[in-house]
Amino acid sequence: MGSKERIQRLKEENRINILEAAMQIVKEEGWQALSMRKIAEIIEYTAPMIYEYFTNKEALLSALAAQGYLQLAKKMCDAKERHAEPTQQLEAMWLAYWDFAFAEKELYQLMFGVGTQCCEQQKSFGGSNVHSKMVSEVIQEIMKDKQPSADILCQKYFTFWSVIHGLISINLVNEGLLGESNNQQILKDAIQGITRSLKD
Amino acid sequence: MGSKERIQRLKEENRINILEAAMQIVKEEGWQALSMRKIAEIIEYTAPMIYEYFTNKEALLSALAAQGYLQLAKKMCDAKERHAEPTQQLEAMWLAYWDFAFAEKELYQLMFGVGTQCCEQQKSFGGSNVHSKMVSEVIQEIMKDKQPSADILCQKYFTFWSVIHGLISINLVNEGLLGESNNQQILKDAIQGITRSLKD
DNA sequence: GATGTTTGCCTAACATTGTTAAATAACTAA
DNA sequence: TTAGTTATTTAACAATGTTAGGCAAACATC
């Protein structure tokens, strides 16, 4: 009897519903609002039922992230196929990556560990501003012959900050993924590369 | 009577003890293990006492982050003063930033919202590997004349990823700090800059 | 010095979380 | 219909952030 398959299909449907409910909550209220009971409420079950499908909350999050990796890979693959020339392919792929990050920002946060929890203060306190001024001054000094606009200055500063913060983040989240020597190489190359772009 | 000042000093001491206890827990067990009761246990008080010094847990985290911003600014300032030439100052400042991030990685995570919570899977599942292969292939194609080593290839890939992920992270954590046009400018400049460095 | 008032801290509690064990309902197979 | 399996719920536990109310010591005022 095909009922086994029908039941299998229902189970799979439940699994999907759980994941969809989770994403719905996260998109509406953010990661900190996601709870097993809220998910259960949406799919009209009780919380323990979810544990038939996911061993715990973290496993559920992993499943969501896995979906995200698939989506991202697909978008980048599509982007690549829209071009023939490798340089254009590369640019298109990273632009697709960029678009994905903002179109599915909650997923992106989960996948790559971008601060979901802590402190609403950065914006008010300025956070980075402490060092951004200091750095910008030095950048201005280096570029003084070119009389850079405030916008250009800001862009250069953020280019530095992005690459360094990005590399740090990647290292902190996936501990020791890159070797120490690779890190130093990338870091120095990047700093010198951008510095050179300031001068000429 | 000087007792007022003595009391004031005791209060300040308590405040410091709370913050130190919090950092101790975080360094030993990570952010997810930090709880008001554990802090209280270390300083030998009960949890509600902490609320005399911080209105809630987030305020406590903000205070920790504020300490971090000061430390970071000081280290970058020191680094700057060790050099006279702006280019060297700039490099030294960013290296100081880098060192701070790893010497005080818990603080760095808090300050700049680097994934403290979610999913232990990246390492096992490979996470990024899905797209890293795809991108590396294209990079290899672009560099095919130079017969790049696997290490070089890897470094180039991570240079791309760092700057893009960094820029995304900064945007996601401090929402709308940069304008849309600035973002596009930085992004395209960075991609084209690195791409150029692949060819020559 | 006795009395009222403020201050510092604690006990007890509440609501919300993730998670588990046991009871029950629903369904399948004979 | 009955026995057995599966699906789902109820009830509970421990840990979390947080608040209200109480107690005792220190202070101020007479």
Look at A180 and A26; give whichever has higher pLDDT.
A26
Q: What is the pLDDT of residues B41-65, one digit of tens each?
A: 999 999 999 999 999 999 999 999 9
Please provide residue B165's backbone torsions phi and psi, each rounded to the nearest 5 degrees.
-65, -40
Q: What is the DSSP string of B26-50?
A: HHHH-GGG--HHHHHHHTTS-HHHH
Reported confidence tier of residue A9, pLDDT bands at 50, 70, 90 = confident
Which uninterrupted H or E stretch holds B188? helix B180-199
pLDDT at B130: 74
Chain A interface includes B186 (CB < 8 A):
yes
Reported confidence tier of residue A2, pLDDT bands at 50, 70, 90 = very low
Start-to-end Cα distance in chain A: 75
pLDDT at B117: 55
The mean predicted confidence, pLDDT, of chain A is: 88
Please indicate whether, in this complex, the C-beta atoms of B190 and A162 are within 8 angstroms of each other. yes
Look at A137 and A2; give whichever has higher pLDDT.
A137
User: What percentage of residues in chain B have a pLDDT greater than 90?
Assistant: 68
pLDDT at B129: 67
Q: What is the DSSP string of B142-179?
A: HTGGG---HHHHHHHHHHHHHHHHHHHHHHHHSTTSS-
Reported confidence tier of residue A196, pLDDT bands at 50, 70, 90 = confident
Among A40, A62, A66, A43, residue whose Cα is nearest residue A51: A40
Please indicate whether, in this complex, the C-beta atoms of A115 and B119 are within 8 angstroms of each other. no
What are the angstrom distances between the C-alpha of B123 and each of A90, A104, A176? 25, 22, 10
Handedness of CA B48, A122, B73, A192 (dihedral sign): positive
Other CB atoms within a 10 A radius of the CB of residue A161 amount to 22
Task: Check pLDDT > 50 for residue B179.
Answer: yes
3-state secondary structure of A43: helix
Chain A interface includes B103 (CB < 8 A):
no
Task: Check pLDDT > 90 for residue A123.
Answer: no
User: CA–CA separation, A64 vs B135, rounded Å?
Assistant: 23
Q: Give CA angle at B97 (B94, B100), nearest 5°.
A: 155
Q: What mean pLDDT comes out for the span A9-18?
A: 91
pLDDT at A43: 96
**Residue limits of CATH 1.10.10.60 in chain A:** 1-53
User: What percentage of residues in chain B have a pLDDT greater than 70?
Assistant: 91
Interface test with B, best of A158, A164, A174 (most B CBs within 10 A): A158
* Torsion angle of the four alpha carbons A197, B73, B181, B189, in this order, in degrees rounded to the nearest 10: 20
Q: What is the pLDDT of residues B15-44, one digit of tens each?
A: 999 999 999 999 999 999 999 999 999 999
Chain B interface includes A164 (CB < 8 A):
yes
Reported confidence tier of residue B160, pLDDT bands at 50, 70, 90 = very high
Q: What is the pLDDT of residues B138-148, one digit of tens each?
A: 999 999 999 99
Among B197, B50, B180, residue whose Cα is nearest residue A197: B197
- Give the bases of strand C that a protein CB approaches within 7 Å: 8-12, 16-22, 28-29
Contacts 24+ apart (CB under 8 A), B52-57: B53/B11, B53/B14, B53/B15, B53/B18, B54/B18
Please indicate whether, in this complex, the C-beta atoms of A168 and B101 are within 8 angstroms of each other. yes
Reported confidence tier of residue A130, pLDDT bands at 50, 70, 90 = confident
Non-local (6+) Cβ contacts of B60 within 8 A are B18, B19, B22, B50, B54
- List alpha helices for A30-127, DSSP H: 36-43, 47-50, 57-81, 86-103, 105-112, 121-125
**Residue limits of CATH 1.10.357.10 in chain B:** 7-112
Residues making up chain A, counted from first to last: 200
Please indicate whether, in this complex, the C-beta atoms of A191 and B58 are within 8 angstroms of each other. no
Reported confidence tier of residue B128, pLDDT bands at 50, 70, 90 = low
pLDDT at A4: 66
The mean predicted confidence, pLDDT, of chain B is: 89
What CATH topology corresponds to A1-53?
A: Arc Repressor Mutant, subunit A (1.10.10)
Task: Check pLDDT > 90 for residue A175.
Answer: no
Look at B177 and A30; give whichever has higher pLDDT.
A30
Architecture of domain B7-112: Orthogonal Bundle (1.10)
Which uninterrupted H or E stretch holds B181? helix B180-199
User: What percentage of residues in chain A have a pLDDT greater than 70?
Assistant: 91
pLDDT at B55: 95
